[in-house]
Structure 1
Amino acid sequence: MNKDRMMAVLRFPHLSEKSEWIADEHHQIVFHVASDANKPEIKKAVEKIFDVKVRRVCTLNVKGKRKPVRGRQGRRFGRRKGWKKAYVALEPGNDIDFLNVMSTLQ
């Protein structure tokens, strides 16, 4: 897998209260990933970019939220775009420091 594909697979880390709790309690990192990415690709990309060992990858597709849209016909509903989320479990002793990694990638 080339570097361009690795950067396309991992879009950005997902930051929320739940993802912070999962990182602290279960030693997992949550990423937004490309919708066509599979588990082996995600594992390789994380291992190469962040120089860590990955134990397991779990993925899920998040449905886009339903939002009201005003039009000429009155009130209708549209959808935001869906996306894919990956939970990456790291081996014990491995950790990702996002501040140092982002400076080395640029």
Structure 2
Amino acid sequence: MVWNSKLRYQIGLRYTGGACMLLMLSLKFGIIPTVMSIGVRDFDIDGELWVKLRLIPTEPFVGAVSWAFVALPKIKFVLSPFRLFNLMGGFVNIRETVYQSRFG
């Protein structure tokens, strides 16, 4: 008996939970390597996911899982080096702070 069953799904995926991550970025300029920690926060993702399961007749009943995004997902996040300040919107925040302290 030949077992060749596949399940295919298209799933909407959205995460807006404010996940925080820490990436260690290794840079090599000349002979001195530098490691820099980059904080990633306010991580949001929104997209359509295509999932394919290849079933098998014995436990665990799933032989392979394939997945891919149907189209480019919308991904938003904020980077902050050394977890000290906002790399992507730092200038905007500084201007708002100065404005509020002067006219606030």
Tell me the TM-score normalised to structure 1 length.
0.23
TM-score with structure 2 setting the length: 0.23
Larger Rg over CA atoms = 2
Question: Which one has a larger percent strand, Structure 1 or Structure 2?
Answer: 2
Greater helix share, 1 or 2? 1
